[in-house]
């Protein structure tokens, strides 16, 4: 289901997930953002975009609690 992603391709994956969000393909966007966060937890833009996706979905309950600072 997910494209094979190397760490240097995280921006491309983020762009694809954002595109899915704009197309209202919520589940695919969410899955890609979560995968991206798994691959690169320090990539802040993915966390922000996932939160924005949840806001657009009206799904505040889905959002995980904030993590403590590293």
Residue spans of the chain under pLDDT 70:
1-8, 60-70
- CB of 49 within 8 A of CB of 17? yes
Can you read off the two tokens belonging to residue 38? 């798994």
Tell me whether residue 69 is in a domain.
no
At 64 the pLDDT is 63
Tell me whether residue 68 is in a domain.
no
At 15 the pLDDT is 93
Q: Tell me the CATH number at 18.
A: 1.25.40.10
Q: Write the DSSP string, 2-70.
A: PPP--GGGHHHHHHHHHHHHHTT-HHHHHHHHHHHHHH-TT-HHHHHHHHHHHHHHT-GGGSPPPPPP-
Chain Cα centroid distance, residue 38 = 10
Tell me whether residue 12 is in a domain.
yes
Tell me whether residue 18 is in a domain.
yes
Total domains, the chain: 1
Q: Return the SS3 of 1.
A: coil
Q: pTM to 2 decimals?
A: 0.75
């Amino acid at each position: 289901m997910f494209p094979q992603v190397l760490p240097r391709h995280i921006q491309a994956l983020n762009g694809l997930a954002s595109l899915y969000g704009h197309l209202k393909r919520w589940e695919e966007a969410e899955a890609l953002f979560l995968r991206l966060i798994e691959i690169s937890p320090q990539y802040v833009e993915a966390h922000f975009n996932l939160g924005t996706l949840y806001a657009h979905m009206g799904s505040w309950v889905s959002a995980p609690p904030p993590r403590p600072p590293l």
